[in-house]
Structure 1
Amino acid sequence: MSGAVPTAPEQPADEMENQVKAPDPGPDNPPDYESHFVQAVLLPAGYPGGLPTRYYSPQQPSTFPLYQPTGGVHPIQYQPGKYSLPNQSAPITWMPGPALMPNCPPGLEYLAQLDNIHVLQHFEPLERMTGIETNNRYDIKNNLDQMVYIVTEDTDDFTRNSYRTLRPFVLRVTDCVGREIMTMQRPFRCTCCCFCCPSTRQELEVQCPPGVTIGFVAEHWNLCRAVYSIQNEKKENVMGVRGPCSTYGCGSDSVFEVLSLDGVSSVGSIIRKWNGLLSAMGDADHFDIHFPLDMNVKMKAVIFGACFLIDFMYFERSHHNVHQDRSRQ
C-alpha cells in the first residue's frame, strides 16, 4: 500500500539491551571529575604577601590555617612542612588568634594575654656529630602546649662557623601563617679588647614589626655575674636582668631575675631549665620566661629577646669553643 509507513526491522532483545547500556569507563574514558573539587584556602583581604610559602606542605595543601585576628573558639591546627619530620603525623596545635588591640604592634597580641612562655630549642644531632654550626630554631609555646611563635636564625654558613657563639645573628619570629612579626638583631662586638670596654659589650635590638625598633637588651660589665639592661626604643633603661654567679650549674636551673629599675623588686624571670643529659651534651635548651600579665607588651617582647642573647652567650656550645667560652665567662 502506498500510505503505509515503513518500520525498522525488529532486533533481538539482547542487542537492544547492549545499545541502552553505557560503555564501561576505560583508559580512553576518564571518570567524571565535575563532582570533585578542591576548596581554596583564602586569607583575609589585604593580607600582605598572599599565601604563606615559608611553611607550605605539598602533602597537605588544604591544611593552611586561617589567620583569625578577631579570635576563634577552636585552636588552629596545621603541620608546618619546614619543621615536620617524615614520621610525624600529629598536627601542631596553635594558640587561637587573639583579637586586635589598640597601641599594640601587630603580632604581639599573643604576648599581651600571656604571663609565661616556654622557649624550646630544636636538637640538632648532625651539629653534635660533625661540629658544624647550623642555624638555631626554637618553638615558643604557652602553658597549654600550644604553639605561639616559631623563631628561626638567619645567619650565613661562614659567619656561623667562623665566629661560633660570638657571631652576629638575625632571628626571625613568625606566627601560625608564616608572617614575620618580629626581628631580633645582634651586631658583632669584638672581644679582643679589654672586657670592661664598652665596645665589647653585647647588645640585641628588637624590632616589631620588622624595621621598627621597640627596644634593646644591653650587657653591662660585672666581675661575677651576667647583668643586662632592658631598654626602650630611645635606649633608656626601663628594667634590669641579673643572672646567677655561675651559669654552669650541673643538675640545677639557672635563674636570671628581671628587676625593676631601682634593682630592688623582682618583676619577672628568665629560667634556663635543666634537662639532664640533653642540657649537658646537646644544644637543645629549654627556657621559661615569666612576666606580669599587665606589663607593657613591648617590654615583654624585649625580655623575650633577652632570652636569646643569654642563650647564645652562656649556653650555646660547640666542639671548638667550649673551653674558650668557659674561660671568657
Structure 2
Amino acid sequence: RLTVYFGDDGDDLQRLGTVQQVWTLGRNRFRVLDAAGMELARISGPRWNGCGCGRDVKFEIGSQSVESPAEVGSITRHWSGLLLETTENYSNYTVRFPRDMDVTAKATLLGAVYLIHVGFFHNSMKKYVVRGFWFIFIAAIVVFCILGFISKSELT
C-alpha cells in the first residue's frame, strides 16, 4: 500500500490518493483510490511474476467500471539491456493516462510507478545474476570433486 500526499510536513499535509495491491493468483493487480477511498482506476500487471527479462513489461490502467473495464492508460517498464539491468540501479518507465484526468489521480498513478518498481523490479536482475553465479560456482566445485574422485580411483 502506498499513499500519496501533497504539502510540507505538518498541518497542511493533504492526502491525494492511495494505491493498494490486490492479491490474486496469476496476475498482479492494484486499486487506485482517491483521498475519500473511492476507486479511480485499476492496474493489471502481466500474468507472471518474473523480472521482464529481455522485454518491456506493461501494466494496464483500466477504468473503475466493472461493467466495461476499458483500458485508459498504461505503465510500462522498458528493458534497458542485460548489461545495464545487472550493473546500474535505475529503470525507465513510461506512464500514459488521459489528458483530462484529474491531477490528483495523475499524481497517485505516479506513486503507483514507485510501488510497482519497488515491489517487482528493484534489483531483480542483480538477484538473478548473483544466484546464477553461485549456482555455476557450486556446480563447478562439484564437477571438480567428481573429476578428482574419478582420477584418484583410476590410479588405484
TM-score, scaled relative to structure 2: 0.71
> Is 1:259 aligned to residue 62 of structure 2?
yes
Residue pair 2:17, 2:108 contacting (<8 A) in 1 also: yes
Structure 1 unaligned regions, length at least 5: 1-202, 324-329
Residue pair 2:46, 2:57 contacting (<8 A) in 1 also: yes
Please show how residues 215-226 of structure 1 align to structure 2 within 5 Å.
Answer: 215-226=17-28
Aligned length: 120
SS in 1 for 2:98: coil
Please show how residues 25-40 of structure 1 align to structure 2 within 5 Å.
Answer: none
2:14 pairs, out of 194, 212, 223, with 212
> Is 1:302 aligned to residue 144 of structure 2?
no
Q: CA deviation at 1:280?
A: 4.0
Describe the superposition over 1:175-194 as per-residue Cα deviations: whole angstroms up to 9, x where unpaired. Answer: xxxxxxxxxxxxxxxxxxxx
Cα distance in structure 2, aligned partners of 1:318 and 1:251: 13
Q: Which residue of 1 aligns with 2:73?
A: 268
SS in 2 for 1:289: strand
Please show how residues 29-108 of structure 1 align to structure 2 within 5 Å.
Answer: none
Cα distance in structure 2, aligned partners of 1:316 and 1:248: 9
Cα distance in structure 1, aligned partners of 2:73 and 2:7: 24
2:127 pairs, out of 310, 316, 322, with 322
Where is the helix percentage greater, Structure 1 or Structure 2? 2
Q: CA deviation at 1:281?
A: 4.1
Q: CA deviation at 1:245?
A: 1.6
Q: CA deviation at 1:208?
A: 1.4
Cα distance in structure 2, aligned partners of 1:293 and 1:217: 20
Cα distance in structure 1, aligned partners of 2:100 and 2:91: 27
Name the larger-Rg structure.
Answer: 1
How much is the aligned-residue C-alpha RMSD, in angstroms?
2.0
SS in 2 for 1:299: helix
Q: CA deviation at 1:223?
A: 1.2
Describe the superposition over 1:259-282 as per-residue Cα deviations: whole angstroms up to 9, x where unpaired. Answer: 001252011110000100212443
SS in 2 for 1:279: helix
2:42 pairs, out of 221, 224, 240, with 240
Describe the superposition over 1:26-66 as per-residue Cα deviations: whole angstroms up to 9, x where unpaired. Answer: xxxxxxxxxxxxxxxxxxxxxxxxxxxxxxxxxxxxxxxxx
Q: Which runs of 4+ in 1 moved over 4 A?
A: none
Cα distance in structure 2, aligned partners of 1:253 and 1:280: 16
Q: Which residue of 2 aligns with 1:283?
A: 89
Please show how residues 118-137 of structure 1 align to structure 2 within 5 Å.
Answer: none
Asked which structure has the greater RCO (Cα within 8 Å, sep 6+), the reply is 2
Q: Which residue of 2 aligns with 1:169?
A: none
Cα distance in structure 1, aligned partners of 2:15 and 2:40: 15
TM-score, scaled relative to structure 1: 0.35
Q: CA deviation at 1:302?
A: 0.4
Q: CA deviation at 1:298?
A: 0.6
> Is 1:231 aligned to residue 33 of structure 2?
yes
Residue pair 2:51, 2:124 contacting (<8 A) in 1 also: no
Q: CA deviation at 1:318?
A: 7.1
Describe the superposition over 1:232-291 as per-residue Cα deviations: whole angstroms up to 9, x where unpaired. Answer: 001221110000023422211000000001252011110000100212443211100111
